[in-house]
Structure 1
Amino acid sequence: MDNSNRTVIVTGFEPFGEHTVNASWVAVQELKKLGLGSNVDLHVYEVPVEYQKVQSLVPSLWKQYHPRLVVHVGVSGMATTVTLEKCGRNHGYKCLDNSSFCPDSQCCIVGGPDCINSVIDMESVCKRVTASGLRVAVSVSKDAGRYLCDFTYYTSLYLSQGRSAFIHVPPLGKPYSGEGLGRALQAIIQEMLELLEQAEEKIHCQQHIH
């Protein structure tokens, strides 16, 4: 594996609205303490809840690190489980961000596809993590909510041909602690990397057959 392939970037969001402490960033900082194993270079970033800042930050992370995988983590006041998002959507961004801005086009990438799926099979990740006896409930969703979470996810999926993931976490204490969420992120992202590796080996084998 070359060095760039060992890099994983995980982001959380800054506080917004009623989330004066953002559980996603707390969880990501806990994950940073735990790490993803000695063969993974983990970098974490706190993402501003602002459309224009996301539009410059996300491409710069892909350009700077050429990561194997980027995982964005966000909080959802409605979530009661740790939720794996299958896809990002391009249209419908009407809610104002922390700087009271929303894109005129109400979309992420003008002319981009309506929806982009992650290359990672979130159902498999969910099953495997659940079977591992993690004491945190995990579920899968097809709607990341048309706010900064969805916007960030779509932007990353677009730039990486789907080599991104998004995880929604519930607010702290509803019911999980920051530490519990950090452990859940660790287990989930390790499964994602495992699946990514298997998928690549399969592609590699197929290339040799033809």
Structure 2
Amino acid sequence: MSKHPRILLTGFTPFGDETINPSWEAVRQLHDREIAGHRVVARLLPTVFEASQRELEQAVQGIQPSLLLGVGQAGGRSRLSIERVAINVQDARLPDNEGAQPIDEPVVADGPAAYFSTLPIKAMLGALQAHDLPAEISNTAGTYVCNHVAYLMLHLAARRPGARAGFIHIPYLPAQAARFPNTPSMAAEDVVRGLALALEVAATHREDHRLGAGTLD
């Protein structure tokens, strides 16, 4: 393994009726890339509550990352959505890929109600926008497997001195969106460029920017 500090970057397997997941299509292109003195290690997580936790914990133990960034698909969103918070709730509208459908269950039984991202989300937002990439701060990562992994990343990072973590949702790829009228998408190369830029900012900024990016509803 490289002597560089490491970034754990994760994507998901397809779920629902999809045959691809844009998160993994983008994340795998950044595997083994050096970004701001860090080596990116990409891992594919199953869209399964229990198995994603087990595989994430194994990856963290093996890779010993200083930064963790989860990436997930959010069909219907039009921008790179930098998540502010992950909540300690599993409330699955549809079963995961192994048929599990937890409803109103905690991610971690004795964990806090929520974790805020420990990445510089406003600095990341500003950099993405400065490079003409559609981006936003999101205040909900949902209650499905994406939020499950986001919460677990922050929970694990909180127990590793100096480790920081966060999550980004990305839109459909154009090939996926073409099946649905008026559905936004983003080209894979733009997603990859955006993730690389977000990671560069995360790796080089300990203090966040003060930038208004909230919502009115």
Q: TM-score range by the shorter chain?
A: 0.7 to 0.9
Cα deviation, 1:31-63, whole Å, max 9, x if unaligned, reads 338x24373221111110001101211111121
1:68 to 59, 66, 80: 66
Describe how 1:104-119 pairs up with structure 2 within 5 A.
Answer: 106-119=105-118
Percent of pairs identical after alignment?
A: 24
Query: What's the offset of the Cα at 1:124?
Result: 2.3
Matched residue, 1:189: 199
Number of residue pairs the alignment of both structures matches: 193
Runs of 5+ consecutive residues of structure 1 not aligned to the other structure: 200-210
Instruction: Provide the secondary structure at the position in 2 that maps to 1:176.
Output: coil
Structure 1 residues 158 and 135: alpha-carbon distance in aligned structure 2, compared to 1, 3 A threshold: same
Q: Which structure has more helix as a fraction of its residues?
A: 1
SS in 1 for 2:169: strand
Whether 1:80 aligns to 2:78 is yes
Q: Kindly indicate whether the alpha-carbon contact (under 8 Å) linking 1:88 and 1:154 is maintained by their aligned counterparts in 2.
A: yes
SS of 1:45's partner is strand
Contact residue 11 and residue 72 of structure 2 kept, 8 A? yes
The 2-side partners of 1:38 and 1:143 are apart by: 28
Q: Which stretches in structure 2 are left out of the alignment for 5+ residues? A: 175-183, 209-217
The aligned residue for residue 40 of structure 2 is 42
- Report the TM-score when normalising by structure 1: 0.84
Q: Residue 120 of structure 1 aligns to a residue in which SS? A: coil
Aligned partners of 1:27 and 1:178 also within 8 Å: yes
CA contact (8 A) 2:81 2:138 kept: yes
Question: Residues of 1 paired with 2:21 and 2:53: CA distance?
Answer: 21
Q: What secondary structure, in the 3-state scheme, does the structure 2 residue paired with 1:9 have?
A: strand
Partner of 1:206: none
